[in-house]
Structure 1
Amino acid sequence: MRNLSEFGLSGVVPAEIMRAVDKNADAWISARERMESAGTQLANAVRMEKPGSVLFLCGTGNNGGDGYVAARHLAEETAVTVVSFGAKTPEAKSAFAALAASPISLCTVQTEADLPLFSADVIVDCLLGTGAVPPLRPLYAEAVSRMNAASAKVIACDVPTPEARADRVCAFHLAKTDGAEVYKIGIPLAAEVFCGEGDLLSVQAKDSAAHKGAGGTVLVIGGGPYQGAPFFAGEAAFRAGADIVRVASPVDGFMPDVILERLAGEKITAEHKSRLIALAEAADVVIAGPGLGSDAESLDTVREVVSHAKRAVVDADLLRLPLPKAREETIYTPHAGEFARLFGKAPEDLAERGRAVREAAASSGAVIILKGETDVISDGCRVRFNRSGCQAMTVGGTGDVLSGVCGGLLCRMPAFEAACAAVYAEGRAGEKAASAAGDGLLASDLLQRIAEVLWK
């Protein structure tokens, strides 16, 4: 694992990335353990001030829970007052219960009249965490106003509450604001570099007021030698949240959910180009390549069509030089053989493999998913790895399903985030399906499970 450290995060990270890392960490260390570590580090930061008295302002979430832990650690060292706005998460409730056995002064507030005098050497702001957005509720706004007016030194827990001042910011694991002091709390590197449940947090469900088509329109172009591939991709795009899916193909197929654009003949030719370009320009995402085959005319035709697409996922036989590229964002999904055909053989060592994919993504100007026992995803700067999945997924069609999931998610999120979420979700879907089917797993078995992984 140490040789993957170069792919870890550094500097100031956005709140949504830290939330993903935090969620990924659940696979190795519980939220309660992380809270205990964070509270311990926060108490150590407060000790540096050698205060005679400390006032903790603790909100209802896990930021408040960090404060409860820190207050417990300091309770026998100095005069500690905790202003509690409640505790709603299981971890915060547990920390609050433990605090009740400590010699502190507790003030529970429900209205502004309940707020005490903000008189202490140090005030610790544990009101709101990374998910907070202004404007503040009146009770919180009043607490912040009093904290800002106080003469005490203010230490913010992880991030300052919106509109609050902070003399010091004690950030956990990674900085979320400029100038923050970073304290490690035991989150492993794997939570940063491997895809996990946290990557699914960025997959946003449709708004309650969404209309037909809000989930996006996907066009799948493929088929010919391999009849089922474009339909697998189309169904997977639906399961990943697309509202409308068209399959443009020279093969017959009936799937009631999919709109079939039946192309005349037995393969895609230049005669189909104008119709395909019109469809591509009207779609949010084009998935090109599944089942297409290696016919030169088909490849040249679809390659040109992709250049008219807003966003695209390019797969299978279309992964040939010169690589087609959409106007805005493109995801390439090669397996090892296709990657070698495009960029040279990928190294076996995982770190070297990550560097190779990063270089290939940078040179192509696209996001690349190198599929394998451990998938590697890069946008030319960032690199992530994915270990979800199982050996039963070697069955034909699973690559087409992945392309479809990428396409469906690309309708609603950026390419790199869509790729990371897609490979993890398909792998988890495969694990779920294989638990019932074993080596009898079919690519079609993944479809329902993908919806469960992404949306339940």
Structure 2
Amino acid sequence: MQIFATEQIRAWDEYTIRHEPIASVDLMERAATACYEWLMQHHYKGRSFSIFCGKGNNGGDGLVIARLLAQSNHAVSVYILEFGHKGTVDFQINLARLHDTTAVIRFISSEETLYPVPAEDLVIDALLGSGINRPTDGLTAHLIEHINNSGNEIIAIDIPSGLFVDHSSRNNIVVKARHTLSFQCFKPAFLMPENAAAVGQLHILDIGLHPAFLSTQHAPFELVDQPMVSRLLQPRQAFAHKGDFGHAALVSGSYGMMGAAVLCARACLRSGVGKLTCHIPATGYIIMQVSVPEAMCKTAENEAPVQEMDKYDTIGIGPGLGTDARNVALLYSLFAQNRRPMVIDADALNTIGREKDLLNKIPAGSILTPHPKEFERLFGKTDNDYDRIQLALQKAATYNVYLVLKGRYTFIASPDGKGYFNSSGNPGMATGGTGDVLTGILTGLLAQRYAPLHAAIIGVYLHGHAGDLAAAYSSQPSLIASDLIDFLGQAFQSM
């Protein structure tokens, strides 16, 4: 699913108006009706409503919602932000229609006209929408603070007022919604952690924008979803054998952190790899042999993990590796021996963060999986989430690697300049070991000769989807990393 910037979203509306065809006021009616129906289906039937509207098309959406609520016998008060202009044509049409209902209409022209919000009212934010390009100030800012300070539950229409779509809103005065009802597709703002407190729970409503528009557009970002992953997964052939599915190596583990190596190995095997060899310290030999009998083991005492590494289809390195100073030489040796794409995570990334020259030695097409702090150690601090995304794209191109920046909507930066946000996963996965599981999955997919981009897309989605299945079975708070491995088979099956 494509993720569009502000101008593309506006262009999609206009394309629909021309090619469906449909009048703009009727498209507004369709969008607002979808919001009204959502309200009725989500236990807000019978509530009283305070609806705050600007005079643009977002305000027009609010007026239609107000009319539909009033016509279904709900108590509705509408507060219109007044700056002396008439507003858009569609806003004016719907204001005239609203006058024929029981809705109470008030205008806010100064701070003195900021009416108290009744405690029992549900607040609807339809002030500004997605078209703003500067921070709110003056009366608009005071009104937003007034809404936030009311203590009422707030539902934002399209996007919380004051939030930018395409760039950072840090330090902006923005509506803090419990729910945001947006239309047709994700906006970049919804995918940034810094906006979580403003967006609340996001709901994308299908309003029937013309599907042919999608083929006319290049989107800088895409949302990874189940249809995309299903198209990329390769079915197994009837006469296949284990050699067809690759031989992976994992270089992982250290004293006290063999659990990370075990999780990574189990996930790698569950991802479908033909053979797996784990290069581990001698202290972890019995642990690995007992915990993962399907994997072969080599230790530093019988065959050094930096020898004969070119025989593997791919290598995953990092989980539980520790901070031993010898890791620098280990990485130099691995990068020299095996020039195929590999997966680099955890302590391997931290080692590269200390020895930056290693960045230029990483095999082309490799997948790096930093969490935000690891990313910062590699490439430096950024001022906001948007800048971090742009820096990830820049560095992916510079070093010809794929950067998997882990988070709620894990971001994949491709060296061709395109970015992918993953849609699966849940907060229960914020627990130790889930990153080790992801490394194992990605390593297994690379060994099966998936292209690195496809391995990254499939891997992050299946990882999150397994977490969703596990949380549905037990709960988010009780989720542990092993649960993801246990549900990985069901995740594959659901594809």
Q: TM-score range by the shorter chain?
A: 0.5 to 0.7
User: 2:353 matched to 1:313?
Assistant: no
Q: 1:224 and 2:260 equivalent?
A: no
Counterpart for residue 206 of structure 1: 236
What stretches of structure 1 move > 6 A for 4+ residues in a row?
Answer: none
Q: Does 1:420 align with 2:488?
A: no
Distance 1:353 1:326 in 2: 21
- Structure 1 residues 3, 448: CA separation in 2 closer, same or farther (over 3 Å shift)? closer
CA–CA separation in structure 1 for the residues paired with 2:438 and 2:2 = 29
Q: 1:409 to 1:173 in 2, by over 3 A?
A: farther
Partner of residue 272 from structure 2, selected from 220, 241, 251: 241
Output aligned runs, 1:49-198, within 5 Å: 172-175=212-215, 182=216, 193-198=222-227
Aligned CA distance change for structure 1 residues 373 and 246 (closer, same or farther; 3 Å): same
Query: Once the 2 structures are TM-superposed, how far is the Cα of residue 377 of structure 1 from its aligned partner?
Result: 0.7
Q: CA distance change for structure 1 residues 304 and 172 in 2, over 3 Å: closer, same or farther?
A: same
- Residues 376-412 of structure 1: CA deviation (Å, up to 9, x unaligned): 1111211111232111111111001101111111123
C-alpha contact (below 8 Å) 1:334/1:370 kept by paired residues: yes
Q: Distance in 2 between matches of 1:246 and 1:413?
A: 19
Asked if 1:287 corresponds to 2:303, the answer is no
Aligned counterpart for 1:361 among listed residues 376, 385, 396: 396
Alignment of 1:341-380 (within 5 A): 341-349=377-385, 351-380=386-415
* 1:339 corresponds to: 375
Once the two structures are TM-superposed, the CA of residue 346 in structure 1 deviates from its matched residue by 4.2
Contact 1:308 1:326 in 2 (8 A): no
Corresponding residue of 1:155:
none
Letter in 1 for 2:262: F
**Residues 193 and 2 of structure 1, relative CA distance in 2, 3 Å threshold:** closer
CA distance in 2, matches of 1:387, 1:323: 32
Structure-2 separation of matches of 1:415 and 1:217: 16
C-alpha distance in 1 between matches for 2:380 and 2:325: 22
2:299 matched to 1:262? yes
CA contact (8 A) 1:7 1:383 kept: no
Instruction: Give 2:278's aligned amino acid.
Output: V
CA-CA distance at 1:426 after TM superposition? 0.6
Aligned counterpart, 2:491 = 453
Aligned length: 280
Tell me the CA shift for residue 206 of structure 1. 2.1
Equivalent-residue separation in structure 2 for 1:435 and 1:379 (angstroms): 32
Change (3 A) 1:344 1:378: same
The one-letter amino acid paired with 1:448 is D
In structure 2, distance between residues paired with 1:363 and 1:407? 23
Distance (Å, rounded) in 1 between the aligned partners of 2:2 and 2:369: 27
Letter in 2 for 1:427: G
CA distance in 1 between counterparts of 2:233 and 2:431 reads 27
Corresponding residue SS for 2:429: helix
Q: Residues 322, 232 of structure 1: CA spacing in aligned structure 2 closer, same or farther, 3 A cutoff? A: farther
Distance 1:341 1:243, change over 3 A: same
Q: CA deviation at 1:7?
A: 13
Matched with 1:25 is none
What is the CA distance between 1:328 and its match in structure 2? Answer: 4.5
Matched, 1:435 2:472: yes
Deviation digits for residues 208-266 of structure 1, max 9, x if unmatched?
2212221111100011141111221121112211111111101222211111113339x
Give distance in 2, aligned partners of 1:379 and 1:331: 10
SS at match of 2:342: strand
Summarize the Cα distance change of 1:323–1:416 in structure 2 as closer, same or farther, 3 Å threshold: farther
Kindly provide the CA deviation profile for residues 399-434 of structure 1, in whole angstroms up to 9, marking residues without a partner as x: 011011111111231111211211111111111112
1:359 corresponds to which letter in structure 2?
Q
- Report the RMSD for the aligned CA atoms in angstroms: 3.2
Q: For 2:454 and 2:245, locate their aligned partners in 1 and report how far apart those are by CA, in whole Å.
A: 17
d(CA) in 2 for partners of 1:290 and 1:284?
Answer: 19
Deviation of 1:3 after TM superposition, in Å, equals 8.7
Task: Say which of 445, 451, 457 aligns to 1:409.
Answer: 445
Post-superposition CA distance 1:148-189 (Å, at most 9, x none) = xxxxxxxxxxxxxxxxxxxxxxx93454xxxxxx4x9xxx97
Q: Using a 3 Å threshold, how does the CA distance of structure 1 residues 7 and 206 change in structure 2: closer, same or farther? A: farther
Aligned partners of 1:222, 1:423: CA distance in 2, in Å?
Answer: 20
Q: SS where residue 407 of structure 2 aligns?
A: coil
CA distance in 2, matches of 1:219, 1:6: 45
* Counterpart-to-counterpart distance in 1, 2:249 and 2:394: 29
In structure 2, distance between residues paired with 1:363 and 1:328: 11
| Residue in structure 2 matched with residue 329 of structure 1 by the alignment | 365
- Report if aligned partners of 1:221, 1:248 keep a CA contact under 8 Å in 2: yes
1:231/1:247 contact within 8 Å kept: no
One-letter code of the match for 2:425?
G
Q: For residue 326 of structure 1, report the CA deviation from its aligned partner.
A: 4.9
In the alignment, structure 1 residue 301 sits paired with structure 2 residue 336 = no
Structure 1, unaligned stretches of length 5 or more?
9-36, 43-170, 176-181, 266-270
- The DSSP-based 3-state class of the residue aligned with 1:277 is coil
> Using the alignment, how far apart are the partners of 1:6 and 1:355 within structure 2?
17
Matches within 5 A, 1:385-404: 385-404=421-440
Q: 1:308 to 1:337 in 2, by over 3 A?
A: same
Change (3 A) 1:371 1:449: same
Distance 1:262 1:6, change over 3 A: farther
The CA deviation at 1:291 is 0.6
TM-score (norm 2): 0.52
Q: Does 1:276 align with 2:313?
A: no
CA distance in 2, matches of 1:408, 1:446: 15
